Amino acid sequence: MSEQRPEGITPSQTVGPYFKYGLTPNGEYAWNDAFTNNLITPDVSGERIRVEGTVFDGDGVPVPDCMLEIWQADAQGRFSDPQDARALPNSSFKGFGRVGTDAKGGYVFDTIKPGQVPDPDGKPQAPHILLAVYARGMLLHLYTRIYFDDEAANASDPVLALVPEERRTTLIAKRKAGAANPAYTLDIHLQGDNETVFFEV
């Protein structure tokens, strides 16, 4: 089928400024969304949560042409992917979401709080959501993680342990006081003093 073994991977290029009508049309263009920022399915079990924030550039200016994608386990810590041999076919929860930032650089995801996922040694990781960041001016997307400030398991998480303590807060979403439903805030700083911790993975 393929003529020969490839010499290498296809390089990444930026999503550019005009991805919205193709990837995150959200009713504004004559095209439908393959994915949205609402991961909640009617039958899903677990705590329904909202995660929101703003994406900033190195000048502290909000980034209105950014795309965020998340990937996460369900409340039992299982992924909706046959590669996770522990997957439970008990829910239509897909675990993947996508959103384009709004004019003020803001984003919102509605999802469920993920359960704990083991690391390669079988040690539990604290509940977390993977986040990929794409934008005009980004030639290659960045990977980070969203943790939650009300999880005691953060203290023993093997990935957080690799992050200098003073930078861990850039990965930990803060629960908002007084919100009717559980809501967490996490801003993304592409550069600068509060630069988000990004992972090489």
Partner 1 sequence: MTLLYPLQSLAAHPPRLSPAYRSTVKRSPQKPLIPIRQTLSELTGPVYGHETVREHDHDLTIQHKGEPLGERIIVHGHVLDEDGRGVPNTLVELWQANACGRYVHVVDQHPAPLDPNFTGAGRAQTDASGYYRFVTIKPGAYPWGNHHNAWRPAHIHFSVFGHSFVSRLVTQMYFPGDPLFPFDPIFNSVTDEKARARMISSFDLENTQPEWALCYRFNIVLRGRNATPMENKQ
Contact (CB, 8 A) for 24 and 135: no
Nearer residue to partner 1 within complex by CB, 52 or 128? 128
How far is Cα 36 from Cα 30, in angstroms, rounded to an integer?
A: 16
Per-residue x/- track, 23-52, partner 1 (CB under 8 A): x-x--xxxx--x------------------
Is 16 near Fe ion (CB under 5 A)? Answer: yes
Q: Quote the least distance from Cβ 188 to Fe ion, whole Å.
A: 23
Picking from 156, 147, 127, 126, the residue whose alpha carbon sits closest to that of residue 197 is 147
Q: Rounded to an integer, what is the distance from CA 27 to the centroid of its chain?
A: 22
How far is Cα 54 from Cα 101, in angstroms, rounded to an integer?
A: 8
Is 95 near partner 1 (CB under 8 A)? Answer: yes
Q: Quote the least distance from Cβ 179 to partner 1, whole Å.
A: 26
Instruction: With H, G, I as helix, E, B as strand and everything else as coil, classify residue 94.
Output: coil
Instruction: Please pick, from the candidates 44, 63, 146, 186, the single residue that binds partner 1 as defined by CB under 8 A.
Output: 63
Structure tokens at 87: 């997957």
* Environment class of 76 (CB within 10 Å of its CB; exposed 0-12, middle 13-18, buried 19+): middle
- 100 - beta bridge partners? 67
Q: Which of residues 138-197 bind partner 1 (CB under 8 A)?
A: 138-143, 158-159, 162-163, 167, 190-192, 195-197
Instruction: Please pick, from the candidates 107, 109, 134, 147, the single residue that binds partner 1 as defined by CB under 8 A.
Output: 134
Q: Quote the least distance from Cβ 10 to Fe ion, whole Å.
A: 16
How far is Cα 108 from Cα 49, in angstroms, rounded to an integer?
A: 11
User: Of the ranges 11-19, 41-49, 105-113, 176-184, which one interacts with partner 1 (CB under 8 A)?
Assistant: 11-19
Nearer residue to partner 1 within complex by CB, 9 or 177? 9
The gap between the terminal CA atoms of the chain, to the nearest Å, is 30
How far is Cα 65 from Cα 133, in angstroms, rounded to an integer?
A: 11
Nearer residue to Fe ion within complex by CB, 16 or 137? 16
Nearer residue to partner 1 within complex by CB, 120 or 178? 120
Q: Which of residues 74-93 bind partner 1 (CB under 8 A)?
A: 79-86
Nearer residue to partner 1 within complex by CB, 79 or 184? 79
The DSSP secondary-structure symbol of 142 reads E
Residues forming the site for Fe ion (CB under 5 A): 16
